[in-house]
Amino acid sequence: MRKKSKRNFLASTCLLLSLFTVLSGCGGNSDSASKSSDDAGKSGDQITLKYYNWDNADQEGNTDAMLKEFEAQNPGIKVEHVVLVPGNSVEMMKKLDFLISSGEAIDVVNLPSAGGVVERAARGAFAPLNEFYDKEGLKPEDEYYVNPKVDDKYYGMQMTAGYQFILLNKDALDEAGLAVPKFGWTWDDFREYAKKLTKGEGTDKRYGTYFHTWELYVNAPAQTVMKDPYRYDDGTTILSDPTYKYFFQLRKDMETVDKSAKTYADTLAAKLNYRSEFFSGSAAMLLTGSFMIPDPGNVEQYPHDFKTAFAPVPLPPQNALPKDYEGGKYFVGGGQLAMGATSKHKEEAFKLMRFMTTNDSDARQEFSGWKKADQNKLLDRLIGKNTDKYDVESLKNTLFGPDIKYLDASKVVTTSGSDLTKVIDDGFSKFMLSNEPIDQVQKWMVDEATKIINEKESK
């Protein structure tokens, strides 16, 4: 799940894109550029593709294993794995944009979000995939959860999927006589659960939940059931949305009235760790994402003796439904593959993209964005040997139960995410750390966000 907000993760990686706006020269049309690309791309009858990403040291080996498998199945194609900036997607995209603007031939690139694809595709950096899908008789919506498009042309192919959910201390639930929640529970229900799970006093107190400092915990509905955490499909700010007033007040009431969550002030001052809060037993529930699935079984790093259950993210109650609400569908983040407009080997690049997104080997360590993948196979690998620390049934129902549906990509791409995030954080701090009324705070947020959107965003 998004770490800062765990949205592809998402919008924050687009912040630096405005620095690289001159992409008209990306075609690499000069004779020298074409010649050098052709020379680099072929060795005898063998074609060489470049695959760009931001793997860290652990991920690089798994990617190499997948690429070797592809080469074995396609002996006429060699793939060069280029790690632009290890483990840092933001810096990787800065370097990618420099390569694009300088005319570098790009075959296939892994980007951290759908927004990252759309922003560059709109400026001519990527090749549309429609003709290749048509040739293979494939409908993207049947293949992938999120399909980034510009003017009805497809540009992204979903490599990975990132989900949000609630971790719950199953032993604490049993002690309080509470069932593991299922799809359809609301944030009002979450508040009631938190009250009943709160126990003790002082340093030994177990809080019902823990809210970390990411945007995810400032307005969870905006981050989990809306396509974009900043703007509606019409391009206007979502900070006027009823979810903001509702969730801000929920947070404050849980801290000051119910005392079922540590205060925002204490969380900031103590620089608490969300994993430690949950696995130490200091909090019985935690809103988080699929990147934490291996953690309950990792008792060496996170010592604990309770079983972890899982529940879908609560939905907004009827009195606080988002403006563009799609009936309980959830946001799904994840990496996307794109094909460079300058690639000299587009058919082979498409073949590599399809292989990487549909590959189901043991080298894959993240959920696939391919709808037809055997996600349970990966889930078994992520859980590992300590299955006694998991309520496996609740985990599977949370991720892939019959009621769980996922949103497609947003129609807007927000490039001023850092500025808008600051408005959200400042507004939340105003409300939580002072007595400023919520209506006054929300008006200030809307006014500030509207100024930023009018100045920096194209509608």
Helix (H, G, I), strand (E, B) or coil at 451: helix
Give the C-alpha separation, 6 to 28, whole Å: 35
Tens of pLDDT, residues 191-218: 999 999 999 998 899 999 999 998 899 9
Count CB atoms within 10 A of the CB of residue 216: 26
Q: Kindly state the average pLDDT of the residues 32-37.
A: 36
- 91: pLDDT confidence band, cut at 50, 70 and 90? very high
| Number of alpha carbons in the 13 Å side-chain half-sphere of residue 14 | 28
Query: What integer pLDDT is reported at residue 431 of this predicted model?
Result: 96
Query: What integer pLDDT is reported at residue 304 of this predicted model?
Result: 97
- Does 21 have pLDDT greater than 50? no
Give the H/E segment covering residue 286: strand 285-289
What percent of the chain stands above pLDDT 70? 90
Give the C-alpha separation, 315 to 181, whole Å: 12
Structural domains present in the chain:
11-161+332-373 (3.40.190.10), 164-331+401-459 (3.40.190.10)
Greatest Cα-to-Cα distance within the chain, rounded to the nearest angstrom: 74
Give the H/E segment covering residue 264: helix 264-270
| Number of alpha carbons in the 13 Å side-chain half-sphere of residue 100 | 28
Which residue pairs from 94-97 have beta carbons closer than 8 angstroms and sit at least 24 positions apart in sequence? 94/16, 94/19, 94/20, 96/52, 97/16, 97/17, 97/19, 97/20
Query: What integer pLDDT is reported at residue 44 of this predicted model?
Result: 55
Query: What integer pLDDT is reported at residue 147 of this predicted model?
Result: 92
Count CB atoms within 10 A of the CB of residue 87: 14
Query: What integer pLDDT is reported at residue 9 of this predicted model?
Result: 37
Q: Kindly state the average pLDDT of the residues 4-29.
A: 37
- Does 289 have pLDDT greater than 80? yes
Average pLDDT over the chain, rounded to whole? 89
Using only the alpha carbons of the chain, give its radius of gyration: 23
Predicted model pTM: 0.81
Which residue's entry shows tokens 């994993």? 275
List alpha helices for 107-169, DSSP H. Answer: 114-121, 130-136, 140-143
- Does 239 have pLDDT greater than 90? yes
Query: What integer pLDDT is reported at residue 32 of this predicted model?
Result: 35
Query: What integer pLDDT is reported at residue 215 of this predicted model?
Result: 86
- 363: pLDDT confidence band, cut at 50, 70 and 90? confident
Query: N- to C-terminal Cα distance for the chain?
Result: 28
Count CB atoms within 10 A of the CB of residue 297: 18
- Does 27 have pLDDT greater than 60? no
Helix (H, G, I), strand (E, B) or coil at 247: helix
Beta strand pairing call for 164-169 and 308-311: antiparallel
Read off the amino acid at residue 295. D
Read off the amino acid at residue 138. L
Tokens found for residue 212: 């970390």
Give the C-alpha separation, 396 to 290, whole Å: 12
Query: What integer pLDDT is reported at residue 28 of this predicted model?
Result: 38
- Does 30 have pLDDT greater than 80? no
Count CB atoms within 10 A of the CB of residue 152: 7
- Does 7 have pLDDT greater than 60? no
